[in-house]
């Protein structure tokens, strides 16, 4: 049966529409009405039937817009808005650039530089004026033109003519990688997980919600004190403390505001406001930024065989950069050794690491619960 039923919506098809019209013609004008395809009556009725079919199809489309399994694009976003589970938008890759030159020289808005190895373009989002020479370098942020995670290794954003009066523009560190918008398919899957998270105000669900809903966030740790006394981490009674790396402040405040339990105090140095979307009330929300601990690594391949690839040094560096270090993870020798020895052909080697340049030790670096070890190609040396 066509229409809206307990089993859902089913559109009436053209053949059903024509059958229904023919029956109504018979009821109105008698059984003698000729409804064969080539008759004048049906030549008149057929275009009307097609219009009716399109109306049924349009109604079916509207019905599907409220079904997450069938909705696409903006209708799917609208469903997410109703349930406070928005699609995670992508973020552009960004890179910090040190600029030198004559004081007063201008780097215009939308000025572009290309990556030496890939040709990817980064551009300024605002105009910048060089300060007096004693105050240089001027550090600016440039953003990738392309969406998603655009690589830019330290020192490689060096292609293109410099603006007048600017003598040098160099990225001393790697780019912060961006991300893509969630596709409809990915969003459908992740939205179900976010709906489950909304129902719980646990530290696990708060962490998952921040990672899922805040674009650009790279690390998160959540502390909780459910006692009536200030605890050993200096958390007040019945409070939470979220530590985040990456992500926009307001996005983080909004997620914590939705997720935290009623009456739960939020601790942190980053203070902002969450507005209740249902009635417009505002509440103070706090969180803290993770302290980044810059790590230095020195690898020297002292002996190798014919299996060691021509790209071996670069492969080892890439393997070290690919390691994952959560907030509070200590930096240990075995984890770094595994990254080094993944490259074949190494017979003997030395591996040192520390929080200071030119490391000469291989002892565990203890990372506090509020800190995260950070590795960058500019602080990794591999020689063979």
* DSSP-assigned states of every residue in 212-275: HHSTT--EEEEEEE-SSS--TT-PPTTEEEEEEESS-HHHHHHHHHHHSPTT-EEE-SEEEEEE
pLDDT at 238: 92
pLDDT at 196: 62
Q: Where are the domains of the chain?
A: 3-64, 94-170, 200-289, 292-383
- The rounded average pLDDT for each run of 10 residues, N- to C-terminus, in the chain (384 residues) is 76 85 80 76 83 84 75 81 77 94 94 95 94 90 94 94 96 91 84 66 82 86 92 91 93 91 91 88 94 96 93 94 92 93 92 95 94 94 95
pLDDT at 62: 78
pLDDT at 1: 67
Residue carrying the six token digits 């529409």: 17
Instruction: Show contacts of 271-279: CB within 8 Å, 24+ apart.
Output: 277/84
Count other C-beta atoms under 10 Å from residue 295's C-beta.
22
Overall pTM surpassing 0.85 (yes/no):
no
Count other C-beta atoms under 10 Å from residue 250's C-beta.
13
pLDDT at 198: 60
pLDDT at 199: 56
Say which residues have a Cβ less than 8 Å from residue 74's Cβ, sequence separation at least 6. Answer: none
pLDDT at 339: 92
The tally of CA atoms less than 13 A away on the side-chain side of residue 245 is: 18
What confidence tens digit (pLDDT) does each residue in 13-46 have?
888 888 888 888 878 777 777 777 778 777 888 8
Main-chain dihedrals φ then ψ at residue 116, nearest 5 degrees: -55, -40
């Amino acid at each position: 049966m066509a229409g809206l039923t307990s089993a859902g919506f089913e559109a009436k098809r053209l053949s059903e529409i024509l059958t229904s019209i023919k029956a109504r013609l018979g009821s109105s004008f008698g059984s003698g009405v000729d409804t064969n395809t080539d008759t004048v009556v049906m030549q008149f009725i057929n275009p009307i039937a097609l219009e009716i079919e399109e109306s049924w199809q349009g109604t079916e489309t509207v019905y599907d817009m409220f079904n997450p399994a069938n909705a696409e694009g903006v209708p799917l976003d609208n469903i997410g808005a109703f349930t406070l589970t928005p699609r995670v938008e992508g973020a552009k890759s960004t890179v910090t650039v040190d600029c030198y030159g004559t004081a007063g020289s201008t780097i215009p808005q939308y000025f572009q530089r290309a990556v030496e190895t890939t040709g990817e373009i980064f551009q300024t989002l605002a105009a910048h004026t060089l300060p007096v020479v004693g105050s240089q370098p001027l550090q600016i942020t440039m953003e990738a033109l392309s969406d998603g995670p655009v690589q830019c290794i330290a020192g490689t954003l060096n292609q293109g003519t410099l603006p007048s009066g600017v003598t040098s523009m160099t990225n001393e560190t790697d780019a912060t990688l961006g991300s893509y918008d969630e596709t409809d398919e990915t969003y459908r899957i992740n939205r179900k997980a976010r709906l489950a998270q909304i129902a719980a105000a646990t530290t696990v669900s708060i962490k998952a919600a921040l990672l899922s809903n805040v674009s650009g966030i790279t690390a998160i740790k959540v502390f909780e004190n459910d006692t009536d006394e200030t605890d050993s981490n200096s958390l007040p009674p019945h409070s939470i403390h979220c530590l985040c790396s990456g992500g926009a402040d307001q996005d983080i405040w909004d997620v914590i505001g939705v997720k935290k339990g009623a009456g739960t105090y939020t601790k942190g140095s980053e203070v902002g406001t969450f507005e209740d979307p249902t009635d417009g009330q505002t509440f103070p929300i706090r969180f803290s930024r993770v302290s980044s601990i810059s790590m230095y690594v020195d690898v020297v391949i002292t002996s190798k065989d014919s299996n060691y690839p021509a790209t071996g040094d670069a492969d080892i560096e890439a393997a070290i950069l690919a390691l994952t270090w959560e907030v509070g993870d200590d930096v240990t020798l075995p984890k770094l050794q595994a990254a080094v020895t993944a490259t074949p052909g190494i017979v003997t080697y030395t591996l040192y690491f520390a929080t200071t340049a030119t490391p000469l030790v291989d002892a565990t670096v203890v990372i506090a619960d509020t800190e995260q070890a950070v590795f960058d190609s500019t602080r990794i040396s591999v020689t063979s």
